[in-house]
Chain A
Amino acid sequence: MSNASESSSAVPVLETRGLTVRFGGHVAVNGVSCAFQRGTLTAIVGPNGAGKTTYFNLVSGQIPATAGAVFLFGKDISRLPAPLRTRRGIGRAFQLTNLFPFLTVHENVRIAVQARAEVGIKLFSLWDSRRDLIEKADAILEEVALAHQRDLPAMNLPHGDQRKLEVGLMLALEPEVFMFDEPTAGMSVDEVPVILDLIKRIKARGDKCILLVEHKMDVVRELADRIVVLHNGTLVADGAPAEVIASPVVQEAYLGVAPKSAEAA
């Protein structure tokens, strides 16, 4: 079960091998090996504390791994710090909203657009004179339905809009790997479709690799091509959605239902 990647000949976009992190005596992520292909959406599920967000942090470089390795297009990126992983194509939207509170909504996106454009260190040119970056940021604001809030400081946005901006920052980076960490958490019912449509659109392009941590099983069923289940930091199931959801190990680990019979596992 530990490595269920397809028999595809192509090098996976993203792969982790035996990825492990220990905090003191606690093993938060334990030897997770998993490969993610282009054009697929993989949902990562598991109960609270299963290590999903920690796994994301190891992949995008926010915390260093104790053991194991992360590969992007077959290249080992385990030793790269987070900014360099981002530049190579790993995009991350955070579970807890992580914005630039005193910058406006538009500036938030524009700073990410600028990072993607690798503008470099320009001391004496005017930030307002880069029309291309401004227009691109505006286009992204349209995509996440925030154009009307354009000039508001990010901290004045309602929670749902902050979540959308969070995703907008990742879009601006135009990554190869999109990592959504509970993108709809705390959003009102009528706001959720904006994000889901957006994820569907990225998926429909067929050339990106999407990882999604999500608790809402209906969302997972609707979007995922594949489900990976983490439990106590260990990968316990990996496969097609219907199969994985039905499997007893998931019923127990994730839904908290005791398996009807031990043999079924």
Chain B
Amino acid sequence: MLNNMLSRDLPRSKLLAAILLIIIVGLLATPFVFPGARSLNVGAKIAVFIVLAASYDLMLGYTGIVSFAHTMFFGIGAYGIGIASTQMGPTWTAVAAGTLAALILSTVLALGISLFSLRVRAIFFAMITLAVAAAFMTMASQFSDWTGGEDGLNFKVPELISPAFSLSDEKFLGANLDGKLIAYYMVVLISGGLFLLMLRIVNSPFGRVLMAIRDNDFRSEAIGYRNVTYRSLSSVLAAVFATLAGVLYALWLRYNGPGTTLSFDIMIDVLLIVVIGGMGTLYGAVVGSTLFNIAQGYLQDLLKLAQGNIDSLPVIGALFHPDRWLFWLGLLFVLSVYFFPFGIVGKLRAGALAKTRRSA
């Protein structure tokens, strides 16, 4: 059953399987093991970014096309919820309407970009996405009546998943049994479902054609596949999943603004997550997102802790100053790309393969 749930695309490395298991258990247990708003935020963000990065991997790792508009679709999902909730009030109808409108807009945009540019060359696609994403960002801040401009939108979500909602006044294992907890599990479980769906897609007959196109687009045409159809559909699917990730993120944060979902900084983050986790593996998105968000959430604290002890040392003290966390994050990235060119998942799988070969 598990095999089919994972679409028979197993981790193929014991260590990777263990890491994935720890991540899943960790995400599910976070509210009770690490109570507090901060850990819950990190956990929800990990889950959302798994979907976001995996959907990007669908394009980058499985189809071999580079897009810079992925956070645009993430933003469309989040704005869909934000705008619908501010205009229609905090109801599930608003959530459904916002999601649907966002999905339609994303599909149309992704299809338009694809058909316009993928006929020519895959690299042209990257350029167009860059332009469209920049235009969209400007529009989002210009139409401030709807989008809240640079300030973004604060909005209420349906009662069931809002912090005001309470299941019980008692605490359970140190966690408040409130709407925030329900929202957390909603985000984590839906993210998990979306991830499994993507895993199925990459292991479908369609998914294998994508990989063939990635490997050799000349030959895939020569054996009878129309690349533009497959590439376009891949980019539309990626956009749809990114939009859903945006929906979840907005429901979780009850806020959306350009810096939260649309910005190129996040685009770079997603790119890094996919590359570090391992392109074309999908599991890389899980490992990468977890690592990245924990680093982003806690590296500063770690440095603060470290600095407390070495404050007095001249150069080293400055180097470990909490404000330097971005430097350390950057260093971590450079090292991981250098040592794991095929990402963490690629490395683990190669190691497991070498081991079975040796014992065979």
Contacts and interface: CB of A to CB of B under 8 A. Distances in A.
Q: Is the interface of B mostly helix, strand, loop or mixed?
A: helix
Contacts of A123: 200-201, 204, 206, 237
Interface stretch (A19-27, A30-38, A82-90): A82-90
A101 B222 contact: no
B56 to A, nearest CB: 18
Contacts of B222: 60, 62, 82-83, 86, 92, 94, 98
Contact of B208 (A83, A114, A124): A114
A116 interface: yes
A127 B202 CA distance: 9
Interface string B203-240: 11111110110111011111111100110010001000
A99 interface: yes
Given A83-B221, A92-B222, A102 B204 contact: no
B223 A124 contact: no
Given A83-B224, A126-B8, A126-B200, A119 B216 contact: no
B261 to A, nearest CB: 26
B205 A124 contact: no
B224 A124 contact: no
Interface in A84-124: 84, 86-87, 92, 94, 98-103, 107, 110-112, 114-116, 119, 121-124
Contact of A126 (B204, B209, B219): B204
B7 interface: yes
Nearest to A98: B219
Contacts of B215: 99-103
A172 B224 CA distance: 12
Contacts of B237: 123
Nearest to A154: B215
A170 to B, nearest CB: 8
A121 B209 CA distance: 9
Contact of A111 (B4, B212, B280): B212
A60 B212 CA distance: 19
A92 B222 CA distance: 8
A82 B227 CA distance: 11
Given A101-B216, A130-B205, A112 B223 contact: yes
A8 interface: no
B302 to A, nearest CB: 37
A29 interface: no
Contacts of A121: 205-206, 229-230, 233
Contact of B204 (A60, A92, A116, A127): A127
Interface string A171-202: 01100000000000000000000000000000
A138 B219 CA distance: 20
A169 interface: yes
A126 B7 contact: yes
Contact of A87 (B8, B200, B224): B224
A74 interface: no
Given A98-B218, A99-B216, A100-B212, A114 B201 contact: no
B203 A127 contact: yes
B223 A107 contact: no
A81 B219 CA distance: 13
18 contacts: A82-B222, A83-B226, A86-B223, A86-B224, A99-B216, A100-B215, A100-B216, A100-B219, A102-B211, A114-B209, A121-B206, A121-B230, A121-B233, A122-B206, A123-B200, A124-B204, A127-B203, A127-B207
Interface of A: 60, 62, 81-84, 86-87, 92, 94, 98-103, 107, 110-112, 114-116, 119, 121-128, 130, 169, 172-173
